[in-house]
Amino acid sequence: MALSNAAARTIADEQAGSIVRVMVVDDSVVIRGLVSRWLAEDSQIDVVAKCANGAIAVEQVGKARPDVIILDIEMPVMDGLTALPKLLAARPGVHVIIASTLTKRNAAISLKALALGAAECLPKPEGNSGITTSADFRRDLLIKVRGLGGLDGVVRPARPAPVPAAAGAPARPVPAAGHGRREIDQKVSLQPYNRGVPRVLVIGSSTGGPQALAKVLGSLDGAIANIPCFITQHMPPTFTAMLAQNIARSTGLPCAEAAQGDVPKAGHIYIAPGGKHLLVKRRGAGHVCQLDDGPPVNFTKPCVDVMFDSVSESYGANILSVILTGMGADGAMGAARIRAAGGNVIAQDEASSVVWGMPGATAQSGACSALLPIEKIGPEISRICRGKTL
């Protein structure tokens, strides 16, 4: 383990949150060096520690004081899953990124790590040569570290067409609290709910999403018995299949990855598969799921906006959309279009979000009727699905 010399970083910079302190934990000296070098090229990232296993990381985390930890799963002496709760206990508030290859076993371990408090998973190419040549891995690494470190703040999307409030009902301003290292300097206006019972529930999520989804879906209390639910969670292939299994097991609700040609059923949950966009199209008097293998949208595949737009086109009004914790602004534009078409939008509040990017951007678009802590979103969905929109 080697500690970097952070003397060149000013105390003012760290206190202002303009520097993210990162610990890299991996048993491969090649990967430790490569990841550290990539991160060090960003002037706002300081690699404060490089550790060969979980035991060394646990020993050094108090001294290193990282904001973000990149944690490998398979290591000698102490593996990542064993080290994770010890690191979280020793450094409260630290964000842990689990670096994992795309195997079924590692997907299951990564989802368990997320349930234990890890913030994000980072798909890792097989072997040192795969990582060395992977531009996608390098890009995603920097995006996740900067996002969890709060360097990029809340991404504000280009504002869509104005969202009309109900006739005679003024927008309700509420203050938006600051998140992480950059505070939002504007107010959020909440719109009155459009009336009507939802015909479909759509949910978008990213960083922190698996935990948030478990809380929301586990508290629906039969609310979606008469409507289908579609979810896009930013995750790679294999991981989304495991996520669907976990949701089905923990909630007792039928949940699976959406497949080409699936006919949506009431009471069922459909997860967009990693690496594919989920579309829902009209077919006769009903609907059908389609998977699209086109390019990433909003730098991600599956994309929340793509799913939201297709559901809006095929279902029209009476859509209930929910945006949960996540980096970036994916879903904000689609949610605004759902609102403009007569649907309703709920976003997770800042305090309960791991990263208030997607819900923050959605709130700032002016499309939301509710901005709620995660524990209140499930009951609110239940209330709306029972026609109580006043």
Residue-wise pLDDT for 52-85, tens only, equals 999 999 999 999 999 999 999 999 999 999 999 9
Domains of the chain: 2-148 (3.40.50.2300), 172-385 (3.40.50.180)
Confidence of residue 182 (pLDDT cuts 50, 70, 90): very low
pLDDT band per the 50, 70, 90 thresholds, residue 326: very high
**Is 26:72 a contact under the CB 8 Å cutoff?**
yes
Question: What pLDDT does residue 184 have?
Answer: 43
Q: In 10 A of CB 112, how many CB atoms?
A: 15
Task: State how far Cα 149 lies from the chain centre.
Answer: 15
Please determine, for residue 160, whether its predicted confidence score (pLDDT) is greater than 60.
no
Nearest to 324 by CA among 294, 350, 295, 298: 350
- Residue 17: its pLDDT value, please? 57
Residue 189 scores a pLDDT above 70: yes
> Taking all residues of the chain, what is their mean pLDDT, rounded to a whole number?
88
Q: Give 151's pLDDT tier (boundaries 50, 70, 90).
A: confident
Which has the minimum average pLDDT: 54-68, 134-148, 256-270, 359-373?
Answer: 134-148
pLDDT of residue 332: 98
Q: What confidence score (pLDDT) does residue 136 get?
A: 86
- Confidence at 15, pLDDT banded by 50, 70, 90: low
pLDDT above 90: residue 134: no
pLDDT at residue 370 is higher than 70: yes
With beta carbons less than 8 A apart as the criterion, state whether 387 and 193 touch: no
Residue 168 — pLDDT band, cuts 50, 70, 90? very low
Residues taking part in catalysis: 206, 234, 330
Cis peptide before 296, with omega less than 30 degrees from 0?
A: no
Nearest CA to 231 out of 258, 208, 212, 204 is that of: 204
pLDDT band with cut points at 50, 70 and 90 for residue 197? very high
Tokens describing residue 104: 């079924």
Residue 325 to residue 354: CA distance in whole angstroms: 6
Backbone angles phi, psi at 70, to 5 degrees: -100, 115
Average pLDDT on 328-356 reads: 96
